[in-house]
Amino acid sequence: MHFELLTKDPNTRARRGRLHTAHGVIETPIFMPVGTQATVKSMTPDQLRDLNVEVLLCNSYHLFLRPGQETVARLGGLHRFMGWDRPILTDSGGFQVFSLSSLRDITEDGVRFQSHLDGSTHFLSPELAVDVQIALGSDIMMILDDCLAYPATHFDAEHSMKRSLAWADRCHKHWAGATNALFGIVQGSIYPDLRRESAERLVAMGFPGYAIGGLAVGEPKPLMYEIIDQVEPYLPEEMPRYLMGVGTPADLVEAVARGVDMFDCVMPTRHARNGWLFTKDGHIVIKHSKYKEDPDPIDATCGCAVCQTFSRAYLRHLFIANEILSSILNTIHNLYFYLDTIRRIRQFIEFHRFDEILTQTRRTGAH
Amino acid sequence: MHFELLTKDPNTRARRGRLHTAHGVIETPIFMPVGTQATVKSMTPDQLRDLNVEVLLCNSYHLFLRPGQETVARLGGLHRFMGWDRPILTDSGGFQVFSLSSLRDITEDGVRFQSHLDGSTHFLSPELAVDVQIALGSDIMMILDDCLAYPATHFDAEHSMKRSLAWADRCHKHWAGATNALFGIVQGSIYPDLRRESAERLVAMGFPGYAIGGLAVGEPKPLMYEIIDQVEPYLPEEMPRYLMGVGTPADLVEAVARGVDMFDCVMPTRHARNGWLFTKDGHIVIKHSKYKEDPDPIDATCGCAVCQTFSRAYLRHLFIANEILSSILNTIHNLYFYLDTIRRIRQFIEFHRFDEILTQTRRTGAH
């Protein structure tokens, strides 16, 4: 994998780049839909390709538990398993271990946890986290990090950050020789000194990309943006930067303005299944009775396949009737909205006018 | 609408025809996937077109209750509402009133019932059943009939059949002038004399097509085939014959051999969602652990998009993980299987060798 920096916006820190992987090129900034269990919920791979999805994120934690990375490997790897021939990024499993499982015990060695599916006990070490991702065959792997809840004291955040660094070092050593890329993850909660130390020591290890972790976990938005601002100068310009688990369309714009290249979030897909649909004028909640006989599309300015064909009235009917097609059509629309937002972001950077989209986003206050 | 009889098999009563409707041509024999609530569960209209689905069945009962036929009419009719530009057949709602709702009262006038959704009370008359379907704008409408449970005494069956005839007459009179086609429905339970009387009196009224109702409601298979055998001679050769709610792939072959042209059944779509997949060698139940690492497609001889891309192992994973994509891919496969069966049936009739597929079906005993 290598990253090509194409151009920089003169008035912000926004960057336009290109990430070359074994499964093809990813234009950046990029939004990665989440395919937790080796499927983006309710989408076929064909539909994702029609949406011009360039890269997916899959969750190692889920695939480790079911069907198991060895099973996936014996079936030819994750790409073949799920019928997706474009790039895949996998997380390390750490975040889900900390958020989904019954946590049993965390030591310097790794983390022992109980499966949220059946209560079975497992142990995840930094080395195993890398091995799982190598078995899955993802194009971009993530180090195992210690995921701290918000808020945390400086003392706890420092301890956690240092453990993450130790694990990063073990992941880095274990990764040596693998063809998959491995990204480091900057931690340190909301403390600038810890964030700086984390970033500098990760950069000293030398990763082909860097993520900012531990954000969008409950802290106020301005604080999230501030942390990105503070971390960015310590990340090498020639490497991609990935803001994990973020966010709203406005978050994408704000983070791109601060030098971030990559995003993933369940928001477009999860919100779709809950009938929350993005539009250029804010969101609509499709179940509302005011849409019962509304013949208009979700968003008259939207170019997605759903807005070309279906009325809000039909989409409301499907949602109320609890039909699977509701999730499908809503997901197509919301993913299109996110990917269209990213395409607009790229264009504004190419024209060196990113401040315009930033101003516009802040003025409308949408999302 | 008019029906063109193209050829007849010399050794059976199988027929190859063509039904011309306002929304296009339907080749017969035909299988109609069921789109109960104005959607074939888990399928987009594009996917149905890719499968070469020629006509859908939608349920008036469901659309009458939600969103209401007037709403659908104000939104441009059912075709526009659900984004489907090919033919649609609607049932009258009678079958669901008798099977789903809390039945309150049935009189010669019609039937008063409680909605299965919210308990609200409604009254369906033969005239309203026609009006609902005209409002929906279906290409082929069905008369309201009295749907009798199996088993029934000759006395009850006669009473029910005569009520159905009276309702058929009222539907026929009310329909006068509508451009949508209206099919009569032969009733009479398992009694040949009642079936004959029902058929002869419906034919005397003059409908553009005839259905055989009241079968596949629990009676033994041989009895169902026998009733079809007995009814068929009383139906005009130049009109299409529709066997309602049937059936397995073998049922299609057996009924085509007895002169039936049209079928609908929830089996391929409902079974798909339950992980029951049709193959040329019988069905497979995809959740079984033996498929955990099975790299083969559902059916190596199948030409569907799912069998070209996905392994049984992946489909099992999706089913076990309760993923929406499981329903989607399984439905694509099962519908393809049914439509492929129908295409093979047509070819064998065209070659005047339908007895071969009949023999083959009986020998393998599949489904």
- B273-311 pLDDT, tens digit each: 999 999 999 999 999 999 999 999 999 999 999 999 999
Do residue B295 and residue B314 come from a single domain?
yes
Which of B91, B145, B251, B299 is an active site residue? B91
- For B217, half-sphere exposure in the C-beta direction (CA atoms, 13 angstrom radius) is 21
Do residue B173 and residue B244 come from a single domain?
yes
Do residue A243 and residue A311 come from a single domain?
no
List, for chain A, all residue ranges whose pLDDT scores fall below the cut of 50: none
Q: Please say which residue of A265, A287, A317 terminates a domain.
A: A265
Answer whether A287 touches B (CB < 8 Å). no
Domain that holds residue B355: 266-367
Q: Which residue of A has its CA nearest to B293?
A: A71
Report yes or no: B56 and B86 within 8 Å, Cβ to Cβ. Answer: yes
Q: What is the pLDDT of residue A367?
A: 52
Answer whether A321 touches B (CB < 8 Å). yes
Do residue B137 and residue B70 come from a single domain?
yes
Do residue A336 and residue A229 come from a single domain?
no
Q: CB–CB of A75 and B293 under 8 A?
A: yes
Q: What is the pLDDT of residue B366?
A: 56
- Rounded Cα–Cα distance for residues B242 and B262 (Å): 4
- Rounded Cα–Cα distance for residues A244 and B233 (Å): 70
Helix then strand then coil, in percent of chain A rounded to 5, is 45, 20, 35
Nearest-CB residue to B318 (from A39, A62, A295):
A39
Q: For chain A, what is the domain count? A: 2
Q: What is the pLDDT of residue A361?
A: 94
Do residue A93 and residue A226 come from a single domain?
yes
Which of B145, B146, B251, B264 is an active site residue? B264
Do residue B309 and residue B178 come from a single domain?
no
Answer whether A52 touches B (CB < 8 Å). no
Q: What is the pLDDT of residue A175?
A: 97
Q: Please say which residue of B265, B297, B323 terminates a domain.
A: B265
**B118 classed as catalytic:** no
Do residue A71 and residue A208 come from a single domain?
yes
Nearest-CB residue to A42 (from B38, B292, B324):
B324
Answer whether B115 touches A (CB < 8 Å). no
Q: What is the pLDDT of residue B101?
A: 82
Q: CB–CB of A42 and B325 under 8 A?
A: yes
CA nearest to B60, candidates B220, B190, B198, B171: B171
Answer whether B307 touches A (CB < 8 Å). no
List, for chain B, all residue ranges whose pLDDT scores fall below the cut of 70: 365-367
Do residue A208 and residue A274 come from a single domain?
no
Per-residue tokens: B112:
């008063």
Q: Please say which residue of A265, A294, A310 terminates a domain.
A: A265
Do residue B148 and residue B286 come from a single domain?
no
Report yes or no: A81 and A56 within 8 Å, Cβ to Cβ. Answer: no
pTM for this structure? 0.98
Do residue B346 and residue B233 come from a single domain?
no
- Rounded Cα–Cα distance for residues A147 and A157 (Å): 10
Report yes or no: B90 and B57 within 8 Å, Cβ to Cβ. Answer: yes
Do residue A249 and residue A222 come from a single domain?
yes
| CATH number of the CATH domain containing A205 | 3.20.20.105
- Rounded Cα–Cα distance for residues B113 and B91 (Å): 17
